[in-house]
Structure 1
Amino acid sequence: MKDWLILTLVLGSILTACSNDIENKGNEIIVQERIGETDQYIDLRKIDTVDQVDQVRDEIKDMKWENAVVSMNQPADFRFYFHEESKVSGLTYELWIGPSLETIELVYENKYVQLNEEKSSKLFEILIGEWSGS
């Protein structure tokens, strides 16, 4: 019985480590934009430049995510996910432009982060294009 418990813990640790590593794999990012005031999205752009994909992956990894169940007053302005070999590879990130129009907020699963102006600008410019915040 003790051996089964140890085996279960070891396998669980391996699976957890692997699932965390898989979350943002992919050689491109698909960015979608919300259509008007609906909760439907259309593809806005595909990012397939290795440097940009790696920058986004690194930015996400370094963010200080909070565990939170978030209820926004409207669907996300944009969403994006990593894409690999004709399939979604990992999580879908939802992106809102903050009320101040100077920051962005990101949500995935039960994680939330609000970026400062500098990080908002950097990430927005990679994902969407020119930042129009102050």
Structure 2
Amino acid sequence: MDILIQINSGNLDTIIPGLIMATRLKNEGADVSVSFQWRALIAFAEGHFEFSPSVARYATKINKNAEKMGLPIDPMKFLEGAKADGIPLYGCAVEAAICGIKEKIPQEIELMEESDITNFLLEAKKVISGF
């Protein structure tokens, strides 16, 4: 794999840009995968997404402008789109089990054992994190 994008936060302003970046890279021919960490897995399991505190005060403006631009703010649409584009989406089965959310993870996200996810880090030519 060329690039592994790790999405660490469950905030809208990290999930959406991370999935947009993955989709753009895939469309440019990169072999890209996405790994969701604890907070992102919980957000998808609960179906509850918020902006980070520093961005939240702009939520109304963001939603209004995104609607005008025809851009969805629904992270599930980005998740479904990334999967439809052939981007592998992963989460850690141990993290999901510890949180008690394993059965609530969307079908687009494949839960893998921790050792398998670690292999992605070793095999990836580049790891992009911070989302």
Q: Which has the higher helix share?
A: 2
For normalisation by structure 2, the TM-score amounts to 0.27
Larger radius of gyration: 1
- Structure possessing the higher relative contact order (Cα contacts under 8 Å, 6 or more residues apart): 2
For normalisation by structure 1, the TM-score amounts to 0.27
